[in-house]
Structure 1
Amino acid sequence: MGERIFFQKDLNKSSEQGTEKATVAFRRGSPYEACSTTLISVYDPLGLLANVLMFLKVLVLCRFNIVSDEPIAGQQLSKWRAWLSVLHNVEKVSVPRCYRTITTSLSVIQLHVFIDASENGYATVAYFRYVRSIPRLELQAAVIGMRLAKAIGETHRIPVQKRIFWIDSRDILCWLRSDHRKHSKFVCARVGEILENTDLSKWFWIPTKLNVADDGTKWQRIPDLSPSRRWFRGSMFLWQPRRAWPTQPANVNVHEVRVPIIVFTNYSNWRKLVRVVAYMLRIFRNTQAKLQYRTPTTGILNQQELLDAEHCLYKQAKLDQYSKEIALLSGFKKVAGVKADPIPKDSSIYKLSPFLDEKGVLHMLGRSAGCKLIQPTAAHTILLLKKHTLTTLIVRFYHERYYHLKHKTVVNELRQKYRIPKM
């Protein structure tokens, strides 16, 4: 015996009548026809019922191997009826169309995708996760507080000599004391408005327990509306001398945003990149020379300036991947008679015996260092990253320098000075 089910239901709309009963028709005939007709009758273009329909496809069509006109009976019939009982609950499924009903423009939207597969099939399902950015909300609250203070000063006749702002978020104080132009547009615009209308020295940190505004954002208990409560009188320290005010933290960490001066991907020529960095270093040194009343350097670049520019580029490129190793080597002090290695064994360059020269450039300790016939640059080659724009520029420079000769020629010349992994 086969069973066929017909129903009409839009999963993205709430039913006005509240109930939409599915019509089940029982018929005798081919079980394969009954199952396929049931599957076709379920309209689910978004895949919201994929877990239900997969149950039918796997358990009935695949596992039971329904290829004949024999009626479903026994254990197969009981599972078929169990699936139909689940299908009756489809009318209760309702998914809202609009996502913005549960989030705001200040939320950070994440997309989480789950994947799984088995011998019977595969499935994926995706979810939106809305995370409220508390620092951004607090920054917006700081803007509202600034506007409130400005409106009070413009509308009241009482002259205000000082405007003091209290906030329990250290992130906001960090944003206010850092270069806001290097942050996102959201932070930059609001921090700029705050700095234009207030004095930075009048922004103070306050513990959350002493923040009166906390009573308006968090309902941990039933509000006390008596006139003596702090919501109407302010925090208790306002009634005390200034020395009794909350103690400010010794230092507030400033959000440091590092913007690289040299972007390697903006250059396609190694020589040009070296000369640009050399001129930048000259400008820096000439600025120091003027402050110390020394004669600045002029004219064409000399060989030492070009070498210093190369060393600067080597150090900058290797900070992207070997920053921990460089920090360990920089702070490592050799002890006479004691063999020690600051590089951890799980590092990718541990076996290369890396060390820093007097310029701070990362080198490899070669086994041929004791040979007097080999130049020091070949014995202690400079470590380069395999997948880095700087390495690509250097390899291209050597390739063009030797007029596109054989591959082995370029590799041999590169190995005289550099150590590139798997080259």
Structure 2
Amino acid sequence: MAALIASRLAKTIWDEFKVKPSSVTLWTDAQIVLHWLRTESINMKPFVGVRVAEIQGTWSPEHWRYVPTHLNPADDISRGIATADINGRWMHGPSFLKEDKDIWPTEPSQTVKVDTECKTVKYICVVQKKEPVVDAERFSSWQRLLRVTSYCFRFIHNIRRRSQDRLDGPLHSSEVEEARLYWIKEAQQYMDDWKTRLLDLNHFVTSDIIRVGGRLKKSQLPYESVHPILLPSDHHILKLIMRDFHAKSCHAGTERTLCDSRREFWILRGRQIAKNIVSKCTMCRKLRQPPHSTLMGDLPSDRLRPFEPPFSVTGVDLFGRFFLKYGKNQSKKAWGAIFTCATSRAVHLEIVDNLSTEAFLQALRRFFISSWMATHHHLRQRNVIYWSTKRAEGFGQ
């Protein structure tokens, strides 16, 4: 407030002078006031900032100088003075004003360390997010994403070159590899704490790409397999990469898909991603769909006779052909007749020389002789079922 009153008073006196003085000097014994006057008022709190702005609008900081407290005559009245001393420094001013300016008091070199009247500085910065060349979320194929990215890079390359240096025609392998490395680096940007995490993987950086260490340096495997690329699990391209390996492995299971992917990439939580890809694969769901099962009808009454002897109800069918060896170097074609008990599921086999009726009847007679208890026979030959209820002893008649 004292500095503000001095500024207003000096401005009033300046305006009343018809002949303006060559210079105006304002004095204060408060170093903090000098610090405020040399600071922009916008950086100060409202109470001090408004008054500092008014002073700065009237007098520049060069008009202000420092006077020590013991040489300041303004303190004589505020601190008390004898009436005999009023006619001294209070009326005529300090004695150093009559001396040369070079010997006037100077401001100490000590600066203000803490200023409570200054506003707290809040740093505001604009963070511009670097967008990728294309939006990977719009793609469902890893190979298609690489091709589209390669064409984008070719377009950027061509607009910066002359017509004779531009690229055209099909994509080169180097262009696809450039797009592949670009998306790998883009995905690895999400791994902010990779230096402190996953120390057991012994990871390292080569060509701006994070790779996994290991103990296979002396093996004959390719470098990509010995030191696979480390990738996070929360980027969209990880799903595309895993889906691509799943398709290349002919829609194999989770473990095979994960094994193939680790030949080039070490994906965090890779087994979970592979399991998710396999479970949602349309082709795998079709191939692994269980067959449709239908409800079977009721068993016939002939199959439900648990207390009857074996072969009471018998079914018969032919199988073959096969060759029977007899003699020294001779063989003969033959077929087999299988007789099955409908109740106990017992089996009886007979050899049939040919597909004639006589050969089958002979096999049937041999069966009746060995299984004389058979009463019901289900004969199936060429998809025709014959029912017989004759007794074995009457079959030959």
Whether TM-score is above 0.5 comes out as no
TM-score (norm 1): 0.36
Larger Rg: 2
